[in-house]
Amino acid sequence: MKKTELNKNFLRFGYYASIVTAVLTILTFTIAILTPPLSGPFCTTGGFVYPFYDIAGRFPRDYYWMYPAMILSAAFLVMIICIYQTAKKDKKHFGLISVSFAIMATIVLIVDYFLQVSVIQPSILAGETDGVSILSQFNPHGVFIALEEIGFIFMNISLFALIPVFPERNIYQKAVRWVSFIGFVLIIISFTLISLIFGINREYRFEVAAISITWLELIILGLLYSRYFKKLIICPGGKSKSIIS
């Protein structure tokens, strides 16, 4: 197989990774929205309170969204690696920074979700409640929330770091730069405002903001990245030296 054919196959892989990321984000976001908060500041009913031992009735309903979220996290990492591979040599270091934060985000989020579905659920159902309270997603200031916050901050930084990789050559690349920049700014503003207003008692307010901002960003960027890869596929030759020049 020729080098050009291999390169085009890779670009198609990046194209589908971007599409899959956007679709999985929409699916995960939809399921998460349809899962009402049953503790903390956004709970509109009686909800659950510490030590959260009575959450067994919410299995598996409140955990459905975590399964596509884990696959989404992995798809996101693959997409970022594909974009890194298309970067020009003088922009590779920005791509590497993006990949590094994407790896950290993916590991943190997958571990966070996997603990919920593989540790919290069976532990509660078996009556083994030691240590569950601090790990449960129903704890508005527990480990789960903290890991999600840092995971989505890393994900947002990863997207932000890619901005220099995309020169402002056309409307799509300009859109990528602006969406990445606006998402990063919104994360900073939301964290700052929520921290100033609520201090250490912000509970999951910032987590909700970070998820909403980053997932909306991922939906838009996933579609824009797919357009980017598609354009490279139809580019004459498809050689790496002409990828974003």
Tens digit of pLDDT for each residue in 166-205? 987 788 889 999 999 999 999 999 999 999 999 989 999 9
The predicted structure's pLDDT at residue 16: 96
Q: Residues 40-86: pLDDT tens digits?
A: 888 877 788 887 787 877 788 889 999 999 999 999 999 999 999 99
Cβ neighbourhood burial of 2 (10 Å; 0-12, 13-18, 19+): exposed
Q: Among 186, 210, 215, which Cα is nearest to 69's?
A: 215
- Domain boundaries, given as residue ranges, for the chain: 3-242
| Mean pLDDT (the chain, rounded) | 89
Q: Diameter of the chain by CA atoms?
A: 64
DSSP string, the chain: --HHHHHHHHHHHHHHHHHHHHHHHHHHHHHHHTS---SSTT--SS---TT-TT-GGGTTGGGTTHHHHHHHHHHHHHHHHHHHHHS-GGGHHHHHHHHHHHHHHHHHHHHHHHHIIIIIHHHHHTT--TTHHHH-TTSTTSHHHHHHHHHHHHHHHHHHHTGGGS-SSSHHHHHHHHHHHHHHHHHHHHHHHHHHHHGGG-TTHHHHHHHHHHHHHHHHHHHHHHHHHHHHHSSTT--GGGS--
Q: Residues 96-119: pLDDT tens digits?
A: 999 999 999 999 999 999 999 999
The predicted structure's pLDDT at residue 180: 97
The predicted structure's pLDDT at residue 81: 96
Q: Among 227, 231, 233, which Cα is nearest to 19's?
A: 227
The predicted structure's pLDDT at residue 90: 92
pLDDT confidence band for 235 (50 / 70 / 90): low
Question: Above pLDDT 90, what percent of the chain?
Answer: 64
The predicted structure's pLDDT at residue 244: 40
Burial letters 118-140, b for 16+ CB under 10 A, else e: eebbebbeeeeeeebeebbbbbb
The predicted structure's pLDDT at residue 242: 36
The predicted structure's pLDDT at residue 1: 42
Distances (CA, A) of 217 to 11, 60, 125, 183, 222: 22, 28, 37, 6, 8
Q: What's the pTM value of the predicted model, to 2 decimals?
A: 0.90
Q: Is the predicted pLDDT of residue 4 greater than 60, yes or no?
A: no
The predicted structure's pLDDT at residue 31: 95
- In this structure, what token pair is assigned to residue 49? 């309170």
Lowest pLDDT segment from 96-105, 127-136, 141-150? 127-136
